[in-house]
């Protein structure tokens, strides 16, 4: 059997890039996480940082669980908001120009940058924000609702707002590529609009849903802006602690260990999310789902 050098030549630069910018930093992070942290008398290598993080009394496992929970909640909300919009846009709007215009309008708001988009929520949810002003000036409430801002609901709202276009675009593209004849055939065979959506559209759009979920989940898991700007005292997530350990406490080993654990936990969560979505699609259409071959077509 003749050995071909072609794959090595074409893939070599990419492998080198991967090694330089992914494998080596991760290896460095792992080694650093095994170094003694601030105030520790242990010698390298030590698992002290991991023990400290996994100690329930430190509150960090709970914060990690909260971080994953918030990210999953954002995926769920983004899906609920994006799904009807994407479906209507893909199958209800016939004009390609109108579709492009709507998607462009969504995109335009994202030209202002995440900081402005996040801070603007203060103007909406604050004591003197739009919602509270409307409620108090109309006489519906005597005093503003303090809980709107500086809490987890505000964080989740802003994170959803900041990430839902990823879900919208992927779902829209997935739904747009579904052949309209499938939908017509389903209706001809007596399926209701509901049944057509759940048993035809959803299973076929499942790969888009899965990609959108990952695109929403991963950045949400690693953001510090929303919890810091809007989270108040309940805004502590693992990402904000990683930032604090690196930039405030100067405890790089502990920050590295937290990062490694977040990568592992996030990876597991992504796998779980993909499996759940596959099950969901299967349950919807009973047609099976093959993410690798175009979604059960």
Partner 1 sequence: MTDASDRLTHDLFNGARSRRDMLKLLGIAGAAGLLGGPLLSGRAQAAAKHFTWGTNADYARPEFLAPFLKASGIEVQTSLFADPSEIITKLQSGGAGVELLTDGSYHAQITYDAGVLKPIDTSKLKNWSKLIPGFDKAAGMIYDGKTYGVPYAWGTDSMVYNHGIVGQDVDDLAILFDKEFAGRIAMPNGLFESVVVAALYLGIKTPFAMDKDQLDAVAEVLIKQKPLVRSYWNDIGDLKNLMATGEVAVCWGWQPLLEIRKYDVDVRWTHPKQGELAWYDAAFLTRDANAESEAACLAFIDYLLGEQYGAMIGKDIGYRTTSTAAIATMDGKLVDSLDLAKPDAFLKNAVWWTSPTNPAGYQAVWDKVLNA
Q: Can residue 247 be called a binding residue for partner 1 (CB under 8 A)?
A: yes
Please state, in angstroms and rounded to a whole number, the distance separating the CA atoms of residues 68 and 284: 26
Choosing from 69, 87, 117, 122, the residue that interacts with partner 1 (CB under 8 A) is: 122
Structure tokens at 102: 């709507």
Q: Can residue 62 be called a binding residue for partner 1 (CB under 8 A)?
A: yes
Q: Can residue 133 be called a binding residue for partner 1 (CB under 8 A)?
A: no
Structure tokens at 202: 């959803």
With a CB cutoff of 8 Å and minimum separation 6, the contacts of 50 are: 33, 257, 261
Q: Can residue 297 be called a binding residue for partner 1 (CB under 8 A)?
A: no
Closer to partner 1 by CB, 232 or 296: give it.
Answer: 232
Choosing from 250, 264, 275, 283, the residue that interacts with partner 1 (CB under 8 A) is: 250
Place of tokens 């004849």: 181
What's the residue count for the chain? 297
Choosing from 150, 161, 197, 217, the residue that interacts with partner 1 (CB under 8 A) is: 150
Closer to partner 1 by CB, 152 or 236: give it.
Answer: 236
Closer to partner 1 by CB, 53 or 211: give it.
Answer: 53
The CA R_g of the chain, rounded to the nearest whole Å, is: 23
- What x/- string results for residues 37 through 56 when contact with partner 1 is judged by CB under 8 A? xxx-----------------
Please state, in angstroms and rounded to a whole number, the distance separating the CA atoms of residues 262 and 269: 10
With a CB cutoff of 8 Å and minimum separation 6, the contacts of 160 are: 74, 77, 78, 81
Closer to partner 1 by CB, 106 or 265: give it.
Answer: 265
Choosing from 212, 241, 281, 284, the residue that interacts with partner 1 (CB under 8 A) is: 241
Please state, in angstroms and rounded to a whole number, the distance separating the CA atoms of residues 57 and 249: 20
Q: Can residue 264 be called a binding residue for partner 1 (CB under 8 A)?
A: no
With a CB cutoff of 8 Å and minimum separation 6, the contacts of 224 are: 237, 239, 240, 243
Burial of 23 per CB tally in 10 Å (0-12, 13-18, 19+): exposed
Catalogue the E-assigned strands of the chain. none
Smallest gap, in angstroms, from Cβ of residue 96 to partner 1? Answer: 44
Smallest gap, in angstroms, from Cβ of residue 163 to partner 1? Answer: 23
Q: Can residue 246 be called a binding residue for partner 1 (CB under 8 A)?
A: yes
How many helices (H) and strands (E) are present in the chain, helices listed first?
A: 14, 0
From 17-25, 33-41, 81-89, 281-289, give the range in contact with partner 1 by CB under 8 A: 33-41
Closer to partner 1 by CB, 40 or 177: give it.
Answer: 40
Which 202-221 residues touch partner 1, going by CB under 8 A?
none
Closer to partner 1 by CB, 87 or 246: give it.
Answer: 246
Q: Can residue 137 be called a binding residue for partner 1 (CB under 8 A)?
A: no
Closer to partner 1 by CB, 32 or 72: give it.
Answer: 32
């Amino acid at each position: 059997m003749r050995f071909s050098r072609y794959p090595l030549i074409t893939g070599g630069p990419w492998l080198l890039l991967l090694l330089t910018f992914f494998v080596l930093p991760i290896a460095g992070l792992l080694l650093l996480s095994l170094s003694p942290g601030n105030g520790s008398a242990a010698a390298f290598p030590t698992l002290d940082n991991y023990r400290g993080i996994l100690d329930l009394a430190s509150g960090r496992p709970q914060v990690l669980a909260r971080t994953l929970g918030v990210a999953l909640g954002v995926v769920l909300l983004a899906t609920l908001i994006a799904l009807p919009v994407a479906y209507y846009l893909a199958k209800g709007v016939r004009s390609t120009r109108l579709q492009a215009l709507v998607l462009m309008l969504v995109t335009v708001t994202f030209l202002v940058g995440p900081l402005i988009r996040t801070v603007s929520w203060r103007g909406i949810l604050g004591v003197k924000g739009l919602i509270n002003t409307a409620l108090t000036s109309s006489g519906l409430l005597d005093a503003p609702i303090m809980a709107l801002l500086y809490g987890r609901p505000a964080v989740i709202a802003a994170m959803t707002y900041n990430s839902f276009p990823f879900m919208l675009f992927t779902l829209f593209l997935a739904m747009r590529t579904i052949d309209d004849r499938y939908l017509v055939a389903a209706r001809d065979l007596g399926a209701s609009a509901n049944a057509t959506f759940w048993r035809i559209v959803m299973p076929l759009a499942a790969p888009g849903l899965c990609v959108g979920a990952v695109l929403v989940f991963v950045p949400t898991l690693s953001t510090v802006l929303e919890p810091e700007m809007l989270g108040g005292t309940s805004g502590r997530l693992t990402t904000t602690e990683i930032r604090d350990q690196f930039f405030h406490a100067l405890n790089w080993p502990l920050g590295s260990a937290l990062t490694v654990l977040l990568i592992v936990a996030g990876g597991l969560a992504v796998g779980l999310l993909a499996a759940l979505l596959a099950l969901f699609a299967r349950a919807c259409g009973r047609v099976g789902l093959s993410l690798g071959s175009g979604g059960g077509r």
